[in-house]
Chain A
Amino acid sequence: MSERAEQSGVTGHSPLWEVFVRARRGLSHTHVGSLHAPDAELALRNARDLYTRRQEGVSIWVVPAGAITASSPDEKDAFFDPAADKVYRHPTFYEVPDGVAHL
């Protein structure tokens, strides 16, 4: 297996795709899973079968898994901990005036 194939988790010929779906009444696309497909067109069609049961009015995004850069679990502390220390970064120091219902 080539290094590239190993990276994308492919054992045969079809690369891996990540699938994001926005439901008909949904506000945003949510990651729902992944699948193998030879290209974007087939990935989209397969995603429609696998994840949406062909419901009308849903929106699907497919992205080649290789195009996604993820934050590393090893760097988690460096990435996220400082923010937790700095409470002044959190929007908790405001008095919410009475009568502001939707803040």
Chain B
Amino acid sequence: MNGPFDFTLALADDALIAAQRLAEWTTRAPEMEEDIALANIALDQLGAARLLLSYAGELEGAGRDEDALAYLRDDRQFRNVLLVELPNGDFAVTMAKLFFLAAYQLPLYTALAGCADERLAAIGGKARKESAYHLDHGALWVKRLGDGTEESHRRMQAAVDHVWPYTHELFAADPAAPVDPATLRPAFDEVVGPVLAEATLTRPGSAWAPAGGRAGVHSEHLAYLLAEMQVLHRAHPGAKW
């Protein structure tokens, strides 16, 4: 990453792809109340994505608005971390993804709220309140499933083991960015450690750290997600709705 455009776009893509994945749960969650909570979080992420994409478009100065950036880039041009594009899996995998993402986004947006760039600071100030709620929700379910039944514990541990390697990419150092992600790691560990412990889950020790999302090198999942997300816009480019 280099420059405010790439940084802003990367955060926007994280939120956009996370929103798309969460929206896939609509009408399919384990409970009606949870269905609404997931849709709520998806809408928060989409709201943050729209603000960040719009600002990225302005920073770029090439006339691309939020829709052009969301619907007319292919997977190699997306800058989201691999974590958010992973398939939803079962409810435990989704909660592991949500929990880790929120534990990263909360300190990120909090730090952003105090940065020199006024627009990014305003977006951070708005989004951090939402992230606090997402973190609360994710932590709550990680604890409930981890410390629930034998089967839910097994699934939650499997989910944490599956998702954990993808958390390392969140903290790839970028000293030139308004907020260097590497500085967020202690805050992340401080939140994640006690929750996993309370959930009777083992923190994975794997050294495998898949990455590449920030450089546009994604897993095989993203292209399918984009095909679905962009199909209408690509079929009718320039249409207004």
Residues of A within 8 A of B (CB): 14, 35-37, 41-42, 45-46, 49-50, 54
B residues near A45, Cβ cutoff 8 Å: 37, 136-137, 140
Cross-chain contact A49 with B140 (CB below 8 angstroms): no
Residue of B33, B40, B133, B136 near A35 (CB, 8 A) is: B33
Cross-chain contact B31 with A36 (CB below 8 angstroms): yes
A residues near B177, Cβ cutoff 8 Å: none
Cross-chain contact A41 with B140 (CB below 8 angstroms): yes
CA distance A41 to B37 in the complex (A): 14
Cross-chain contact B133 with A42 (CB below 8 angstroms): no
Closest CB-CB distance, A96 to chain B, in whole Å? 50
A residues near B137, Cβ cutoff 8 Å: 45
A residues near B133, Cβ cutoff 8 Å: 54
Main secondary structure of the interface of A (DSSP, over half): helix
What would be 19 A-B contacts, judged by CB atoms less than 8 Å apart? A14-B31, A35-B33, A36-B33, A37-B33, A41-B140, A42-B33, A45-B37, A45-B136, A45-B137, A45-B140, A46-B33, A46-B36, A49-B33, A49-B36, A49-B37, A49-B40, A50-B33, A50-B36, A54-B40
Main secondary structure of the interface of B (DSSP, over half): helix
Q: Does B239 contact A (CB under 8 A)?
A: no
Closest CB-CB distance, B5 to chain A, in whole Å? 31
B residues near A46, Cβ cutoff 8 Å: 33, 36-37
Which partner residue on chain B sits nearest A43 by CB separation? Answer: B33
Interface size class of B (residues with CB under 8 A): 10 to 19
B residues near A50, Cβ cutoff 8 Å: 33, 36
Which partner residue on chain A sits nearest B32 by CB separation? Answer: A36
CA distance A34 to B137 in the complex (A): 20
**Interface residues in B88-117 (C-beta closer than 8 Å to A):** none
6 more CB-based (< 8 A) A-B contacts, given A45-B136, A45-B140, A50-B36: A36-B31, A42-B33, A45-B137, A46-B37, A49-B36, A50-B33
B residues near A37, Cβ cutoff 8 Å: 33
**Interface residues in B102-161 (C-beta closer than 8 Å to A):** 133, 136-137, 140
Closest CB-CB distance, B22 to chain A, in whole Å? 14
B residues near A36, Cβ cutoff 8 Å: 31-33
CA distance A42 to B34 in the complex (A): 10
Residue from B33, B133, B136 whose CB has the most chain A CB atoms within 10 Å: B33
B residues near A41, Cβ cutoff 8 Å: 140
Cross-chain contact B40 with A42 (CB below 8 angstroms): no
Closest CB-CB distance, B95 to chain A, in whole Å? 13
CA distance A41 to B144 in the complex (A): 11
CA distance A36 to B140 in the complex (A): 17
Closest CB-CB distance, A43 to chain B, in whole Å? 9
CA distance A46 to B133 in the complex (A): 12
B residues near A49, Cβ cutoff 8 Å: 33, 36-37, 40
B residues near A42, Cβ cutoff 8 Å: 33, 140
Closest CB-CB distance, A62 to chain B, in whole Å? 12
